[in-house]
Structure 1
């Protein structure tokens, strides 16, 4: 008894009563198995025969022997269906989004490191492995992550809140990744969160939460958090005007380091040895950021940096 052999197959349209197909060839749609609904009869015939497979269905022999030895009322068809049904060991997480927006690395200068292009590319590959649709927004066509076939859809648009909101409105992603686009993506994400864009469109923040980004990018909040756990931090003050910067420098003592918050690559930051240098530096810094941090200069200190992944 066989469903097919030597190029001929039993037609499913002329099967006798109580017989039905068990397996169907995915390529030519021919019948590769038949089973009786009431009696413990079934047959399979897989091709090509020279491979003696597929081995993943060797369990059919076990099902047949179990049915012969069993005294339960469970029909052979039900027993076989139960055996062939895949039950995952871990329940699937319904909160995992099916579509994710990645804010890309943006423009790069000649000689500038491309680590965010690399990390963003790896993020896209990891999401694709989990069958998650990827939507990338990145205006730089000369990056790896914008290569054809990597992301499911690419938008060559500026990494600005207005444009990102347009993409979110159009694509309706279930989640967004902000940490693979560097400072530009982080700043953009913070602005979108303050405008309630993510909650408006039901877009979940994946990875580092927005609040954690704010706490690490706002120098004063970060210094306060470090003090809370009893760690030492350089004397500093957050200022919002040139006058406040000069007063803070007088209290801390020159030389000082002025750092602009939420700036790209330390833009507008530097060292000042006197009021004239600090005034010039503060004017440049406030052109890029509303907040300036005045730190005690740690020149000639030995620096140890950790990147935690």
Structure 2
């Protein structure tokens, strides 16, 4: 790109043409991963512009897997179907942990220029080479169409289907044709369009750029000023890359579904219920497999939508769908309103939940997906699930995945969760009941739930009709309640004793003083709307610094109550995954072969 600017050429293609015309092509040098102590069988390669090439290509059939770049390591890079496996990634962790998983590792940037050069190098002896873009997240997906246009063979889901799922206008039409509900949304290529669209669908809205990963540059806008500020400062937009504006579902259960497909048959790996509300990035929310309180009718509806979408998109390999279910008006706040299920997003690729689902089911989903991309059929691996239209089996166990946050290492970061991902890791808790599994996951994530003491509760108005049920659970377990005035009124009306405390701006001693004085052992705080999200930052920050567990939704508070009840019963037991899946070991060996 820089050379094109200096030489005043129109695009990188012109530079590439000139290089090729004058024979200026990269060669590849090896790094000795064994430091000359013994023979190295897995080349680790990098490109340079010299004369001698140390990576002579073979004429074997090959598969190239594109990693995710410096953010995340690619998953599922294992092949033993007679293919030479080549990994391209610039993540240092690939070098330290997975350098010997593939036959060759190219330590190169994930750009069209670099991938295209490696592809040309590996096909120079006439080898049949296919490229997999599904295992590296959003970065390789963005390369799929340009690579195919250049003649690269993309195996698995086609680049056109990938683009269809990413292109909002095309995808909206597909959902309409399939009669699948979606949250109201618009696209905007100007500030005026963005404001008009947000007014039409109603505030608050979720605003984000096209083709992003990890929720980058996403915000929840509550008014026109937020929209204007976002469009002016946060993103670049154009006719080809519009800004996406969706109705923000403030009170909904979010669900993740991972599935395998060969273009004809579909098997659902797992339906994962998020503990946190919809609108919080899926990577930042705890989730449980199987779902704990979603009615069977809605689970069946999500299965049906998954089958329709997988076939319509002609998915070959893995896919991930995110659904939202609006909560009902029942006393517990758990119900679903009118049985409606909305599709939030479809990703025709491996998601971050695939390793979690694979561990929970004992089925190597990434390995099967890789074989499907080379032409094998799903019936070879999971015929019984296809016939029964059944999800992969988790047995009688609950598996809870929880995020790990770096708050202590980044003290200036706002701890309020939202659409932009903030977690840096994940853990899993396993038990024969949801409460124990959740408690284990929280413990592994560094957030130990208390078994006694005081719980501070301050909830938004919309949560006050449900908060008494949750608070009663803590009272029954022997906890004292501390609350701000509005929440305290509700709890006292329900017959509970509450110690009142000032809000941060009301006077002293306030809740932050209580936290710093170690008088609070658990914080439950559910902000909604723009003001509370920022006004209560002090409470969250104080809780993090004091290493006090902080819960931001009533759904998570209910989960915490079940977890604490399990801890009080002394039920924590450690089990090996191999032990849980022992009865399926034969089937797993068959899949691995």
Shorter-chain TM-score range: 0.5 to 0.7
The reply to whether residue 155 of structure 1 matches residue 106 of structure 2 is: yes
Question: Structure 2 stretches of 5 or more lacking a match?
Answer: 1-59, 261-593
Offset at residue 299 of structure 1 (A)? 1.1
Q: 1:286 to 1:294 in 2, by over 3 A?
A: same
The reply to whether residue 101 of structure 1 matches residue 64 of structure 2 is: yes
Which deviations, in whole Å up to 9, do the C-alpha atoms of 1:103-143 show, x marking residues without a partner?
Answer: 112213xxxxx5x53x2xx33x2x2x111011211011212
Which deviations, in whole Å up to 9, do the C-alpha atoms of 1:66-94 show, x marking residues without a partner?
Answer: xxxxxxxxxxxxxxxxxxxxxxxxxxxxx
- Aligned to 2:98, what secondary structure does the other structure show? coil
Which deviations, in whole Å up to 9, do the C-alpha atoms of 1:194-218 show, x marking residues without a partner?
Answer: xx21x2xxx3211111111111112
Q: Give 1:230's match in structure 2, choosing from 147, 168, 179.
A: 179
Larger radius of gyration: 1
Rounded Cα–Cα distance in structure 1 between residues aligned with 2:96 and 2:102: 7
Q: Give 2:145's match in structure 1, choosing from 190, 196, 200.
A: 190
Residue matched to 2:153: 204
Number of residues of Structure 1 aligned to a counterpart in Structure 2 = 195
The reply to whether residue 305 of structure 1 matches residue 305 of structure 2 is: no
Q: 1:268 to 1:191 in 2, by over 3 A?
A: farther
The reply to whether residue 243 of structure 1 matches residue 192 of structure 2 is: yes
Question: Structure 1 stretches of 5 or more lacking a match?
Answer: 1-96, 109-113
Residue matched to 1:175: 130
Offset at residue 157 of structure 1 (A)? 0.9
Q: Give 1:218's match in structure 2, choosing from 159, 162, 167.
A: 167
- Aligned to 1:304, what secondary structure does the other structure show? strand
Which deviations, in whole Å up to 9, do the C-alpha atoms of 1:54-74 show, x marking residues without a partner?
Answer: xxxxxxxxxxxxxxxxxxxxx
- 1:74-113 correspondence to structure 2 within 5 Å: 98-108=61-71
Rounded Cα–Cα distance in structure 1 between residues aligned with 2:257 and 2:98: 31
Q: 1:260 to 1:145 in 2, by over 3 A?
A: farther
Offset at residue 288 of structure 1 (A)? 7.4
TM-score by length of 1: 0.58
Q: 1:216 to 1:155 in 2, by over 3 A?
A: same
Offset at residue 187 of structure 1 (A)? 0.8
Q: Give 1:292's match in structure 2, choosing from 232, 243, 250.
A: 243
Contact 1:133 1:152 in 2 (8 A): yes
Rounded Cα–Cα distance in structure 2 between residues aligned with 1:273 and 1:175: 46
Offset at residue 284 of structure 1 (A)? 4.7
Q: 1:150 to 1:181 in 2, by over 3 A?
A: same
Contact 2:237 2:243 in 1 (8 A): no
- Aligned to 1:136, what secondary structure does the other structure show? strand
Offset at residue 98 of structure 1 (A)? 0.9
> How well do the aligned residues superpose, as a CA RMSD in angstroms?
2.2
Rounded Cα–Cα distance in structure 2 between residues aligned with 1:222 and 1:178: 20
- 1:126-137 correspondence to structure 2 within 5 Å: 127=79, 129-137=80-88
Contact 1:105 1:138 in 2 (8 A): yes
Residue matched to 1:256: 205
Offset at residue 190 of structure 1 (A)? 2.8
Contact 2:144 2:154 in 1 (8 A): no
TM-score by length of 2: 0.31
